[in-house]
């Protein structure tokens, strides 16, 4: 039983290693695309926003500034205004 569980654990570790390689590729692509985006400086300059949160904010809010002609619309979407 111990040998079987040991083999299973090793197989799962190899699967996780392969998954980590794929995740690293996605992460690098996201960082590259975010750095090239015209609104990178706007989203990247927000306090506390790092390499992970900046792209998430940009993708969540979108880059179409005409979508929110007034700031209150954006605040409602963000959940900071009623």
pLDDT at residue number 79 = 80
Per-residue pLDDT 10s for the chain (82 aa) are: 899 899 999 999 999 999 999 999 999 999 999 999 998 988 888 888 888 899 998 888 887 878 888 888 888 887 887 6
- Please list, in sequence order, all residues whose beta carbon lies within 8 angstroms of the beta carbon of residue 30, skipping any fewer than 6 positions away: 55
- Round to whole Å and give the CA distance between 33 and 5: 42
Confidence (pTM):
0.70
């Amino acid at each position: 039983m111990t040998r079987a569980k040991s083999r299973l654990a090793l197989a799962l570790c190899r699967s996780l290693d392969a998954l980590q390689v794929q995740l690293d590729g996605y992460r690098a692509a996201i960082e590259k695309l975010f750095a090239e985006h015209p609104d990178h400086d706007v989203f990247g300059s927000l306090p506390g926003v790092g390499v992970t949160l900046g792209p998430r904010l940009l993708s969540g809010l979108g880059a179409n500034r005409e979508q929110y002609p007034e700031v209150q619309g954006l605040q409602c979407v963000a959940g900071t205004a009623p």
